Structure 1
């Protein structure tokens, strides 16, 4: 008799178990996945370069705005860059007579120093002292290649004093 009772109740118990609330499903959970895909930073293999204008005879200058020949192109060599655009701004002491030029220090007077992207001022992109609104821009260079610059003297006053004409310029590199 006991067996027949269990057999009779089994379908009812099975249905009750299926429709009864299941404690495992009593609460939902959420998983948040976070992360960022980043590229490598832009960096340089060379952190310091010298743009050698060389010895320039005073007679080269014929009046305000006249220039010396360009220095040879020198590169800041890239260590690689995962960006679409490299921008460089420049800080240093501006020439008192022409704020688009860097002040020549060391003895020479009456000239400022112009630093431009390779191709000289014809490139249309020259370093302007302390002006972050006018960067010199480049397509990112692969590792081992670089960003070329040249420099020259520009006469800024009627009289020129001979002597060394040097400048120290700090370059701030940003990339997007």
Structure 2
């Protein structure tokens, strides 16, 4: 990592945005995979089965190295607040290495990439809206403390174009 804080933030944002866009789509694919010839699931069944699916994926397939500094540790669908939580850790920086402005820049860059990626997945976005599922990406540093958090609410998300 570069020692200059501005360069460190730029480099970290570039790495993390790439990681955010490389989220394992097999996990997300479950939420909008077509069930050929079958009627749509009722909401309660869909949410329960989705939560079970993500719990199983986390047990069987995570943590997973997303890029050279980012690890996806868990994916959990909370039925209480209907939020799909992605929890990442970043091995190359601690929370004390970035000041509030650096964390805000990092979060803004991540938000832009995650919103763009979400907007490109129209079927997924429609499924999120239908079942009122929000998404939260949480990134911690190598000290386990929060670096950035990006929440996306598909109900209020406005995609361009």
Hey, which of these two has a bigger chunk of helix by percent? 2
Max radius of gyration: which structure?
A: 1
Fold in common (TM above 0.5)? no
